[in-house]
Amino acid sequence: MLTIAVSKGRIYEEALPLLAEAGIVPIDDPKTCRKLILQTTRDDVQLVIIRATDVPTFVEYGAADLGIAGKDVLLEHGAEGLYEPLDLGIACCRLMTATRKNAPPITGRVRVATKFVKIAERYFASLGIQAEIIKLYGSMELAPLVGLADCIVDLVDTGNTLKANDMEPRDLIMNISSRLVVNKAAMKMKNAAIAELLAQFERTLAKRV
Ligand code: ATP
Ligand code: PRP
Q: What is the mean pLDDT of the chain?
A: 96
DSSP 77: H
Point out the ligand 1 atom lying closest to the alpha carbon of residue 91: 30
Strands 178-183 and 82-87: antiparallel
Ligand with smallest separation from the Cα of 159: 2
Residue 107 has pLDDT above 80, yes or no: no
Contact by Cβ (8 Å): 156, 77: no
Mean pLDDT across 62-87: 96
* Domains present along the chain, CATH in parentheses: 2-91+177-208 (3.40.190.10), 93-175 (3.40.190.10)
Helix H, strand E, coil C: the string for 112-177 is EEECCHHHHHHHHHHCCCCEEEEECCCCCCHHHHCCCCCEEEEEECCCHHHHHCCEEEEEEEEEEC
**CA 146 to ligand 2 center in whole angstroms:** 19
Nearest to 17 by CA among 183, 181, 177, 207: 207
Q: In whole angstroms, what is the distance from residue 103 CA to residue 147 CA?
A: 12
Point out the ligand 1 atom lying closest to the alpha carbon of residue 10: 11
Atom 2 (ligand 2) nearest CA: 155
pLDDT in tens, 16-53: 999 999 999 999 999 999 999 999 999 999 999 999 99
Residue 106 has pLDDT above 90, yes or no: no
Mean pLDDT across 158-184: 98
Residue 113 has pLDDT above 80, yes or no: yes
Residue 121 has pLDDT above 90, yes or no: yes
Point out the ligand 2 atom lying closest to the alpha carbon of residue 161: 14
